[in-house]
Structure 1
């Protein structure tokens, strides 16, 4: 008979005991703040919507608080951990606290920013308490690397959560907002207090949920069969926000070759040359990149 005993989750005493065993001193360099509240990790998993049919990628599992809560759903978990001591201890923690689910857990000892593949079945979800100092690059890298991901929920610094979920016209709308929108529909999914962590961070935390969708119309990989690539679009995005207070016709000059060419390309894309990047959607950026790629020029009326 299959053992269906649910995992035991980690509380403050268990987290501190594991840390003491490892002589662990959390470092800011790796953004190490460990969740010590079982209700919080269950909430994160509940908001993520993962279940027994999912294959979940987790980044930065640390001591295993969130990992155990994901395994509680019956999902398979592949955890990516950069810290050698934590990576060595985590499988034993899973064996101790979730012996019935240990077969559903696998570990990749690697830097999530540099990982090139994830072993096992194609993952369907990303659920993670991301290291705050590299949260956006890690999220964008995995969205690009793992097209099988259908959805995700990540905990990040509150200000970063605002940026990722921001819409055009918002003061915090910027490069993370636009690039995340290439891959998915993104939304804020709540806030997390500081007292559920050890050590308590100096910043507030927020949850960001996203649902995968195909590339925007006009781009390679979209149903419209476009020709512009993600790299070309992201180059326009980076340029547009490098000097976010300046008009697009000026900041896109290096990409277009001249201010006149930039203005012509913007007009051809249906974008006001005096607009700023903060007012544009991902679809606008795709049209601009396509216009720059094809060298579109708008003839002046005679």
Structure 2
């Protein structure tokens, strides 16, 4: 079953201040009023109808929002002009957190363009496709664009391969956990734990994937997969929580971001 968000209503204690704030992000509103209801502002964002309604009292109806913008520094300048408070800003200048007039955290991410695929696909990817024949396996090696944080580049690697970006919700892990996750998603089906290839083959392929990028590398995943796989003796998945980046029942993998290139290994399985 596919579910998509179609409507987001924000109750605003000062609707005009909220309108100015979101206009600084690049949104363009139109005035609306439905029958005898209150006058409000309306716009479309990525197929979602966003409406600003006046609230009778100060009420925080949404605690956290996220937007991807083409020019983050310009947006921050416009937000400063309307008095918005910046809570956080990355050193690379590609992420920031601001507060809207009703106190909601608004996470802003610079859209990263021109992340180019590497010219040649490593042979390890071909062998993964040949040996992990069930489920859907996505592998990619991409050339980084300079000047962006590892987390932002992980977002781009996800998006260009048809996945959802997680932004601040990516879970950063160390190399040992990245190796454990890579091994387990290749070795076993995520739904039932059935063997997909021998342990030896999975170990070899996982190690080869991680050696595609020299250190230093930042590793990201979408949940507590390493902890869950370590608890296999009692319950393989009882200790796991994750943020799906696809519509599959299960999806897991790693994104490894180096100085010049990014590698993605992701598996989707259905129950």
Q: TM-score range by the shorter chain?
A: 0.3 to 0.5
- TM-score by length of structure 2 reads 0.35
- TM-score by length of structure 1 reads 0.33
Task: Considering fraction of residues, name the structure with more helix.
Answer: 1
